[in-house]
Amino acid sequence: MDEIKHIIVGTAGHIDHGKSALVEALTGTNPDRLEEEKRRGITIDLGFAFLDLDGVRLGFVDVPGHERFVRNMLAGASGIDLVLFVIAADESIKPQTREHFDICRLLGISLGIITITKSDKVSSDVVAAVRLEIEEFVRGSFLESAPMIAVSAHSGAGIEELKQEMLRLARAVSSRDEKRHFRLPIDRVFAMKGFGTVVTGTLVAGAMRVEDEVQIYPTRMRARVRGLHSGGQQIERALAGQRTAANLAGIERDEISRGMVLAAPGLFEPTSRLDAEITLLASARPLKNRARVHLHQGTAESVAEIILLSGGAALPPGKTEFAQLRLDAPVLLLPGDRFILRQLSPVVTIGGGKVLDTRPANHRRNDEGVKAFLQTLERGDKEDSLLALTAVSSRGLSLPEILARTGWTNVEIQGAAETLAQSKRVRILGGAASPTFVLMSGPRFADCVATIRKAIEAFHASNPLLPGIPKQELRARAGTPRAEVFQGALDDLLIARAIALSGDLVQRAGREIALSPEETRAKELIEREFASAGLSVPSFATLLAKLPVEPRRAQKILQILLREKVLVKVAEDLIFHQMAVAKLREMLAKYKKERGAQLPIGAFKEITGVTRKYAIPLLEYLDREHLTRRVGDERVIL
């Protein structure tokens, strides 16, 4: 089953030139499925049919030719691999021949067959003349060297030859990549009795399976794929290039409409602002800066305001330039997606373009840096693009962020990131193989390291008595870099021996706390007071009064003594000299040896000489230190 190659064939051409009749002659299916279409004999909306040819399955998307239904045509044209460009022998080139031709070029369709239809209606001389006209018309375009076949849906002339040409081209074209993240722009939604909601579309990338969870963009609603069909057959897996009908569980028919996109859950973000390269048709009027136009991409449409990034007042006909597009409603777009621009009134196709960035900043117009950045994205080299993206991301980029912004697979992202890291142009933080890695440009990371160093220096300068700054405080003072970036910067500084860590504190390497002579005296005094007090310690307030330094400094000196473990904090406001605590341990050992492990509070007060006020917190401290254990009202010496 999977050996079969799936190719989407789309029709294009003026109304009544025989597109639908041709699809029926090729497939046996009349693509005009709507009641109104059958009655009026015209195509209004997209029609579908299938043809199996020797290992290739062709999914046909038949589009309407009428100028009023170009928007329906656009919804069908975006997923096409091969276009059947239809021109009737008796009418030759007409307005929608031109418009559809422009649309195919702007969408970047690269493969086509020109079919001269209704060949039974005219003489062979007329067919020859039409051929010449068409050759002239397509010169210099993707259709220049396309096969041109005269056919008749009525007599069957040329139909077999056309099938063989389609097969030849279908075999030559490379398959769409099923390893990409899947996207299915929805072109139809209906409810089926007993099945619920069904959506159809051309699977333009990736693969979908039954039971997959899917997300519906831009609404972000989720649903489960209950079943998949393609061409009337039930399938387990749909592949890129396949017409696909998905039966969705967990969603109502009226919650979905054409223009929405099914994609893998949680990967993407819809956007209402994008940077793009746009091209104006030679036949269009100049496009003014800030003009509003219709934008069509996939099956979606939106109104967009166009900001010309060159700084010019208008884009001249036939020209291409970078622009920022601001959409009235969010749409799921990825770089590389092609779109069509149509004028608001009268509604005609005026141009199109290619999405370059779906998370752009507000640019100044005529900014050389922006131009260079977009040129890099336009060239499409993955390493260059990723480097350019990191260069504009001051906080670095996580794997999910890169994925959402590029649509690349994890393998592609990691490959490009590692190449860049090897040549030291970027840093991979948090582990190259880890899904939580953060990518940061070399210079941006160096800036971050420098900021952290400055914050450490600033901390030491304003806190000369403190040994170092707690990590989280340092991170906050350095502009709260991402955790992976912060850790990576600290690691670098440690390896370079620029900083030292003690527990949670970060300090400049080799730094000693420098105390002034008064502070040194105060420190000695505090220590002596506590040492001589033993277990009947002074209150710190009383002590303060005797010291030659102001209270704030004294507090810090106290902290230093605690950190040096000269003093021991037993409870809030209850501090002992470590010698007193050591002596207490000895007393307990002696008591246990002489009088047993049982220690009532009374006995404790008696041997230590402390009051009840001190006895309770001291005992609780001893419990915490696992020197004693509380049993009822007594302690057991351990």
Distance separating alpha carbons of residues 227 and 267, to the nearest angstrom: 22
DSSP code per residue over 60-99: EEE---SGGGHHHHHHHHTT-SEEEEEEETTT-S-HHHHH
Nearer CB in complex with ligand GDP: 15/306: 15
Q: Which of 8, 9, 12, 21 binds ligand GDP (CB under 6 A)?
A: 21
96 near ligand GDP, judged by CB under 6 A: no
CB of 88 to ligand GDP, least distance (A): 8
Nearer CB in complex with ligand GDP: 64/353: 64
According to DSSP H, which parts of 463-516 are helical?
Answer: 471-477, 483-495
Residue 120 contacts which entry, Mg ion, ligand GDP, none (Cβ below 5-8 A, type-dependent) = ligand GDP
Nearer CB in complex with Mg ion: 116/246: 116
43 near Mg ion, judged by CB under 5 A: yes
CB of 151 to ligand GDP, least distance (A): 7
Distance separating alpha carbons of residues 30 and 27, to the nearest angstrom: 8
Residue 118 contacts which entry, ligand GDP, Mg ion, none (Cβ below 5-8 A, type-dependent) = ligand GDP
Q: Which of 67, 91, 120, 527 binds ligand GDP (CB under 6 A)?
A: 120
Q: Which of 18, 185, 467, 468 binds ligand GDP (CB under 6 A)?
A: 18
CA distances to 244, 356, 377 from 336, rounded to whole Å, are 22, 6, 9
Secondary structure letter of residue 498 according to DSSP: S
Contact 360, 275 (CB under 8 A): yes
CB of 159 to ligand GDP, least distance (A): 9
CB of 120 to ligand GDP, least distance (A): 5
Residue 154 contacts which entry, Mg ion, ligand GDP, none (Cβ below 5-8 A, type-dependent) = ligand GDP
Q: Which of 29, 152, 247, 441 binds ligand GDP (CB under 6 A)?
A: 152
- Enumerate residues 6+ apart whose C-beta is below 8 A from 248: 196, 197, 198, 199, 214, 223, 224, 225, 226, 256
Segment contacting Mg ion by CB under 5 A, of 41-49, 223-231, 524-532, 561-569: 41-49
19 near Mg ion, judged by CB under 5 A: yes
How many of the chain's residues bind ligand GDP (CB under 6 A)?
18
CB of 156 to ligand GDP, least distance (A): 9
List the 82-88 sheet strands across, edge first. 47-53, 56-62, 5-12, 82-88, 112-117, 148-150
16 near ligand GDP, judged by CB under 6 A: yes
17 near ligand GDP, judged by CB under 6 A: yes
CA distances to 4, 273, 387 from 399, rounded to whole Å, are 34, 22, 14
Secondary structure letter of residue 539 according to DSSP: P
97 near Mg ion, judged by CB under 5 A: no
- Enumerate residues 6+ apart whose C-beta is below 8 A from 124: none
**What sign has the CA pseudo-torsion 602, 606, 612, 615?**
negative
Q: Which of 7, 13, 20, 271 binds Mg ion (CB under 5 A)?
A: 20
As to burial, measured by CB atoms within 10 angstroms (0-12 exposed, 13-18 middle, 19+ buried), residue 39 is exposed
**Based on C-alpha coordinates, what's the Rg of the chain?**
38
153 near ligand GDP, judged by CB under 6 A: yes
65 near ligand GDP, judged by CB under 6 A: yes
Nearer CB in complex with Mg ion: 19/427: 19
**Nearest one of 206, 166, 169 to 26, comparing CA atoms:** 166
635 near Mg ion, judged by CB under 5 A: no
CB of 19 to Mg ion, least distance (A): 5
Segment contacting ligand GDP by CB under 6 A, of 98-106, 116-124, 160-168, 314-322: 116-124
76 near ligand GDP, judged by CB under 6 A: no
67 near ligand GDP, judged by CB under 6 A: no
Residue 100 contacts which entry, ligand GDP, Mg ion, none (Cβ below 5-8 A, type-dependent) = none
- Enumerate residues 6+ apart whose C-beta is below 8 A from 69: 43, 44, 45
Secondary structure letter of residue 116 according to DSSP: E
Provide the residue type at 633 as one letter: D
Phi-psi region of 16 (alpha: psi -120 to 50; beta: other; left: phi over 0): left
Which chain residues interact with ligand GDP by CB under 6 A?
15-21, 41-43, 65, 117-118, 120-121, 152-154
Which chain residues interact with Mg ion by CB under 5 A?
19-20, 43
